[in-house]
Chain A
Amino acid sequence: MSSSMNTVGRPTAPVATAGDIPPTLTGARGLLQDEALIFELGGWNKTGVDLPPAERPADDLAGLLRAEPIGLPGLSEPEAVRHYVRLSQKNHAIDLALYPLGSCTMKHNPRLNEKMARLAGFSDIHPLQPVSTVQGALALIDRLAHWLKTLTGMPAVAMTPKAGAHGELCGLLAIKAAHEAGGQGHRKTVLCPTSAHGTNPATAAFVGYSVVEIAQTDDGRVDLADLASKLGPDVAAIMVTNPNTCGLFERDIVEIARLTHEAGAYFYCDGANFNAIVGRVRPGDLGVDAMHINLHKTFSTPHGGGGPGAGPVVLSAALAPFAPAPWITHHADGFHLVEEAVGEATQAFGRMSAFHGQMGMFVRAYAYMRSHGADGLRQVAEDAVLNANYIKASLADVMSPAFPDGPCMHEALFDDSWLEGTGVTTLDFAKAMIDEGFHPMTMYFPLVVHGAMLIEPTETESKQELDRFVHALRLLAGAAKAGEVDRFKGAPFHAPLRRLDETLAARKPKLRWRAA
């Protein structure tokens, strides 16, 4: 067909090039455009927004007015569109290919959720307009809360934390308040496994607790004997991720909870990996007292290049009275919003942020949950775990699974022992994956595994995409073992940029543009 379109008689067959491909004259590479900073592009007198002229400000602002130039360039609309579209093309994204960042749950983001969050009845309402005019918003938060409580088997949920780490903080503040109310304010220690996310010890320290690490067994779980020896009258809480950061279910979790409670401490569960068990296991049945849920992981609100997230925290009956303001109550005339910790609510530990949390994320998460339903969510967990085990099984003969015995949950963890003697490191291998079109897995985390490579495919990958990924990794593994070190050491070669000098960036921090 194409030759019939060639009406001017030019030859249509491509000619193979011999030898090296010449670099382009401008530095651009076809569709991939270099793009200057807005400060180098924009006009100091240009604007892409048409606004009517305004009157001079009131005289009483004299002396308060901003006289000096601010230093903000403007772009016309077409220039702005080009700028940001060109920049966007330098990013990897889930919409482009598998994005197997372990512990981050990079799954498909349904566009229905975006559409719903933009309904004027959700996006164009003010957090302080009369409660009688936002009954639908409160109903949505209430329904989402019901789903979260039902899926976790927990009696209460604090909706306002704005991210996972913010949720951890909320949970630990509730625990601290509960201990103080119970005359146990002297408890100052939090126990965390060595495999914990960095946010766990950081949060515990924030709240004024000292952190003691719990050892791990050879099969990647909490060492019960070590835990038992460290639990005591000074321990306020344990923080355990389940499934843990090695991608394994804590087999002894019920016993962990029992020992913790017996010692008078609370069990904080990091819910970052809830995707592996949603609809199949309820954390409430495991003895958890508090757990944050990353709506941007399990419930697919977009990661947006690093936020915004949302981290509601489910709470046990013992901790529920200490939840922060605000919260919703049910009355005959509709929903009310309790915004101040007064009267019956005096045990609330305070407030996590202005207003009521991440409403825009609540709408997306609810649309996601409602779309799946109880049956779809159970399938989510099963397919997430199936996909991870399929990758583990498909790569076990060429890479080294950190915990080869037994199944993993939603992520497959490998160590770097299989790279020994090749001269290729985990970092090199990851950078070479970029050239093959995939985002690298999480590297060097968890810290308990040498040269860790943590692969989380999620349930929204097809078998074809998994096979494509496995094929690429097997080829790369083969190349590493065959001594093709250059392919790895210099990688990536085909990304918008080569490896970046992070040492230079830290030694001479250049954190903003300045006029030359």
Chain B
Amino acid sequence: MRYLPLTPDDRAQMLGVIGVDSIDALFVDVPASARREGFVELPHVAGELEVERELAGLAARNVAAGSVPFFCGAGAYRHHVPATVDHLIQRSEFLTSYTPYQPEIAQGTLQVLFEFQTQVAALTGMDVANASLYDGSTACAEAVMMTKRVTKRSRAVLSGGVHPHYVATTETLARAEGMDVVHLPAAVDAEDAVIAAIDAGTACVVVQTPNVFGTATDVTKIAEAAHAAGALLIVVTTEAVSLGLLKSPGEMGADIAVAEGQSIGNALNYGGPYVGLFACREKLVRQAPGRLCGETVDADGRRGFVLTLSTREQHIRRDKATSNICTNSGLCALAFSIHMSLLGEVGLRRLAALNHQRARELKAALEGVKGVEILTPRFFNEFAVKLTKPAARVVEDLAFKGVLGGVPFSRLAPGAGMDDVLLVAATETVTGEDIAAFQAALTEVMA
């Protein structure tokens, strides 16, 4: 087996040093009833070529987004990632290292995390950010649970514009922690409705902008209402590129900003691995979940970086920890950070403007199609349309015509009574020809 360096001679010699006569002697503690002779019923060793053939065969049974006109979003976005990003994250020293437990020989990872935290704080307009969480949805759940620790209250109010998967994840995790999660009915322009639901027991209000229907909202008034009631405002962003065009959560008064960072540096990957961004006000940081990297000096006074404030974490606090999280999403955070360093503010703003322009072009192309009504009043790169046919069927028909034409809202929330709503997104990867093909296919399907 090509990954196993020991030879039969090595093994025999090593058993001799150990002082046993067979490998079985090292497994004596396994109860007799659980000892297995022979192999489990699975195929045996396979060469690279054989494995490549099988996997290439499976990959070929999927329709790659880049091979067709493609307009899916709803929490995962197809952007162009510079070749440099994927090359650099495959450097052995980044790819095959672990959590920087020994900072003297992990300064590469640690400096990247420090830079990442600064980039995320700047992007979200917040004071500080952590070293990443699993993804946007778990970051949202962690943020909600954090507000219980901060406010000693246990009611969370989620707007009807929050991504339904984020809602479901938050309900699952926060309810397990004893929180009362109130989710308002789904609506295209839903965010302001949370104000009426805030009461004296509310720990946090969760709004999303642009929301799952693509609607961009200034949440400043919601922040004021939350703060007046002693509650915290959590702002969710599932499309991080939007922050290159739209006001940041921090500017609008958010206490915690969480986002899906996949859009920057990371491929679609059928939903994972992604990278959860988590940022908050400085005064809240000791209640934050996940890892934090901080600056310090070494014995010679040189600047260096370490994991810090770890007394919040499970390996020290055990059952008193702020979260059970052990790892972050290191390599995805690195990809985010490299792509963001390449973009810089200039590139990010240009990229965001380009996304918005493409979405407007898409809107112009679709609003003339019979049976299609644009629902979203103000959007970044994604909007909702109402169809005169069930959206799920329309999407299947479009796929048959070779167009991946968005996400039916019913796929995210089957019980919401919005089976006729389709979410469509256009990023910089979409061309004029793609839009024309979508328009033509949709016209046929809706006829």
Contact = CB atoms under 8 A, between A and B. Distances in A.
B104 A500 contact: yes
Contacts of B96: 93-95, 106, 109, 302-303
A340 B177 CA distance: 22
B344 A74 contact: yes
Interface stretch (B45-53, B195-203, B224-232): B45-53
B180 interface: no
B18 to A, nearest CB: 5
B52 A116 contact: yes
Given A125-B268, A306-B99, A371 B319 contact: no
Contacts of A253: 31, 34
A380 B346 CA distance: 50
A496 B91 contact: no
A63 interface: yes
Contacts, number: 704
Interface stretch (B150-158, B164-172, B185-193, B434-442): B164-172
Interface string B77-90: 01000101010111
Given A110-B3, A302-B331, A496 B45 contact: no
Contacts of B281: none
A55 B361 CA distance: 11
B287 interface: no
A511 B128 contact: yes
B302 A497 contact: yes
B59 A120 contact: yes
B367 interface: no
A361 B318 CA distance: 28
A248 to B, nearest CB: 7
A85 B106 CA distance: 13
B114 A513 contact: yes
Nearest to B248: A66
B330 A47 contact: no
Given A72-B119, A94-B97, A498-B299, A129 B326 contact: no
Interface string B203-215: 0000000000000
Given A49-B82, A498-B104, A499-B298, A307 B340 contact: no
A37 B111 contact: yes
Contacts of A307: 132, 134, 273, 327-332
Contacts of B98: 99, 101, 104, 106, 303, 305-306
9 contacts: A48-B347, A93-B95, A94-B97, A106-B96, A150-B42, A197-B315, A305-B94, A500-B306, A506-B311
A393 interface: yes
B407 interface: yes
Interface string B23-56: 1011111110111100111111111100110111
B15 interface: yes
Nearest to B310: A506
A144 B5 CA distance: 25
Nearest to B55: A116
B94 A91 contact: yes
A502 B311 CA distance: 12
Contacts of A304: 89, 94-95, 97, 330-332, 334
B237 interface: no
A interface, size bucket? 35 or more
B176 A389 contact: no
Interface in A348-402: 349-361, 363, 366-367, 369-380, 382-383, 385-387, 389-390, 392-394
Contact of B378 (A61, A136, A356, A409): A61
Given A202-B321, A394-B17, A54 B356 contact: yes
Interface in B356-412: 356-357, 360, 377-378, 395-396, 399, 404, 407, 411-412
A313 interface: no
Nearest to A324: B172
A77 B25 CA distance: 56
A72 B100 CA distance: 25
Contacts of B5: 460-463, 465
B105 interface: yes
Contacts of B270: 122, 125-127, 134, 137, 355-356, 359-360
A45 B378 CA distance: 29
A230 interface: no
B356 A72 contact: no
A339 B165 CA distance: 10
Nearest to A39: B118
Interface string B306-322: 10111101111111110
A197 B324 CA distance: 11
A468 interface: no
B272 A121 contact: no
B447 interface: no
A487 B92 CA distance: 29
A307 B14 CA distance: 34
Interface string B130-159: 011011111000000000000000000000
Nearest to B351: A51
A140 B58 contact: yes
A9 interface: no
A251 B269 CA distance: 41
A14 interface: no
B5 to A, nearest CB: 4
Nearest to B19: A393
A501 B55 CA distance: 48
B344 A386 contact: no
B172 to A, nearest CB: 3
Contact of A163 (B134, B296, B347): B134
Contact of A512 (B25, B114, B267, B269): B114
Contacts of A89: 93, 108
Sorted from nearest, which 10 A-B pairs have the closest CB atoms?
A: A74-B344, A121-B59, A355-B271, A136-B61, A304-B331, A350-B172, A127-B271, A308-B273, A95-B92, A54-B353
Contact of A506 (B74, B176, B308, B340): B308
A96 interface: yes
Given A66-B243, A373-B45, A463-B5, A367 B343 contact: no
A158 B366 CA distance: 40
B328 A306 contact: yes
Given A54-B350, A499-B104, A407 B29 contact: yes
Contacts of A371: 1-3, 45-48, 51
Contact of A37 (B94, B114, B121, B243): B114
Interface in A64-80: 64-66, 68-75, 77, 80
Nearest to A248: B29
B176 A176 contact: yes
B404 A501 contact: no
Most buried by A among B98, B176, B320: B98
Given A126-B404, A305-B98, A382 B216 contact: no
Nearest to A116: B55
A366 to B, nearest CB: 7
A405 to B, nearest CB: 11
Contacts of A193: none
Contacts of A204: 319
B61 A135 contact: yes
A449 interface: no
B104 A431 contact: yes
Given A199-B314, A376-B4, 7 more contacts: A38-B341, A130-B399, A133-B63, A169-B173, A357-B271, A371-B2, A505-B294
Contact of B54 (A199, A370, A383): A370
Interface in A455-473: 459-463, 465
B119 to A, nearest CB: 6
A490 B300 CA distance: 11
A135 B62 contact: yes
A187 interface: no
Contacts of B420: none
A298 B434 CA distance: 43
Nearest to A72: B345
A46 B324 contact: no
